[in-house]
Structure 1
Amino acid sequence: MKIKILILTTILCWGCSKVAPRRPINPKNSTTILKETINKSIRLNKIEEDKIVALIKKDSTKTYQISPNGFWYTYINKIEKNTPTPKVGDVATIAYNISDLQGHIIYSKAAIGEKKYQVDKEDFISALQAGIKLMKVGETITFVIPSYNAFGISGDGNKIGINQSIKSTVTLININN
């Protein structure tokens, strides 16, 4: 019996020994690559932002506002009366198009049709997710969206290329709770 207790105690002591954590084989390379990727993304975003700012400066007929979410917008049709805006969970019925920065239509309103969008509950263009919450029923807003707030580094896999900034004119048709 004493032998069994001695063997059991030995097994328990070995079983509870601490395992040394594994360290990266070459930690310097991974941080260097990560820093280079971040710096490249910052440069690309700056170039994209400069193009958008130049486009906005050319369009002197409209007043653009910048959103804290990183996109620009201008009202085409603004409703002055105090009516509600979409809240999280509401179903917003919208009509929208997508064009490139030069104004060439990529997807027309007719091709897209009316879209029912459940606010912040569906996957959608991130800038438009935030932008729709600014709108009142009947308003039309044109959004100028950098690629990182649109389709990013992959594009849409069809007509929108990688790192492509877009414009989208959205009309809020209805809000259902």
Structure 2
Amino acid sequence: MRPTLILIALIVVAGCGDREPTTRLSPAARNRLLGDRYLADNAKRDGVVTLPSKMQYRVIRQGDGARPTMADVVTFHYRGTTINGREFETSRDLSQSAVALPMRNLIRGWQEGLQLMASGSTFEFVIPGHLAYGVQGEPPKIEPNQCLVFTVELIGVNLPAP
């Protein structure tokens, strides 16, 4: 009986520590927190501009061509990575010379960023999760609320076919 009482006493004492409760974050909440930290650190880099939406961009090469509007079709090359540098997609691997899509079909961060670019430009976009793929993500490549980094070369701006 004595060993049982000692064991019970040890369990009670062990449970009385000053440990803080651990909270498990959902993947969406964890990615939002990591993204916010990354954006705060990235904002300190030379040449990084933070927009009111929290999206950031940095000019790598400034072009002098046309600027797209939401009514246009844009032609571009791109490379997408997570904030830890894992590449999830690049147009150079898609067996196309470049990608051409209507502006209205792009994620909100791209819509915002591309309108700042002139054809011939290359920009880096850091897009918070709410302007990328949101809480649904794009499984399996992109998790919920994941902040993404894109290097985008805007090759051309065309009006859509009538």
RMSD value over aligned CA atoms?
A: 2.3
Q: Find the counterpart in structure 1 of residue 37 from structure 2.
A: 50
How far the C-alpha of 1:104 sits from its partner, in A, is 2.2
User: Which residue does the alignment assign to 2:19?
Assistant: none
Question: Given the alignment, which residue of 93, 107, 110 partners 2:89?
Answer: 107
- Residue matched to 1:149: 131
Amino acid at match of 1:53: A
Cα separation, 2, equivalents of 1:88 and 1:129:
7
Q: Which residue, 56, 62, 75 being the options, matches 1:72?
A: 56
Once the two structures are superposed, the pairs formed by residues 158-169 of structure 1 within 5 Å of their partners are 158-169=140-151
Q: TM-score, normalised by structure 1?
A: 0.64
Q: Give 1:106 deviation, angstroms.
A: 1.3
Contact 1:69 1:130 in 2 (8 A): no
Number of residue equivalences:
130
Percent sequence identity over aligned pairs: 26
Q: Unaligned regions of 5+ residues in structure 1, if any?
A: 1-40
Question: Displacement of 1:56 after TM fit?
Answer: 4.0
Decide whether aligned partners of structure 1 residues 172 and 42 sit closer, same or farther in structure 2, where only a CA change above 3 A counts: same
Shift of 1:137: 0.9
Tell me, what secondary structure is at the counterpart of 2:47?
Answer: coil
TM-score normalised according to structure 2 size: 0.70
Is 1:87 the counterpart of 2:38? The answer is no
Q: Which has the higher strand share?
A: 2
Change (3 A) 1:111 1:158: farther
Unaligned runs of 5+ in 2: 1-27
2:146 partner SS: coil
Equivalent residues in 2 for 1:2-81 (5 A)? Answer: 45=32, 48-57=35-44, 60=45, 62-79=46-63, 81=64
CA displacement, residues 99-120 of structure 1 (integer Å, 9 cap, x when unaligned): 0112221112323442212223
* Cα distance in 1, alignment partners of residues 100 and 150 from structure 2: 16
Contact 2:108 2:132 in 1 (8 A): yes
State the alpha-carbon separation in 1 of the partners of residues 39 and 99 from structure 2: 27
Bigger RCO of structures 1 and 2 (CA < 8 A, at least 6 apart) = 2
Greater Rg over alpha carbons, structure: 1
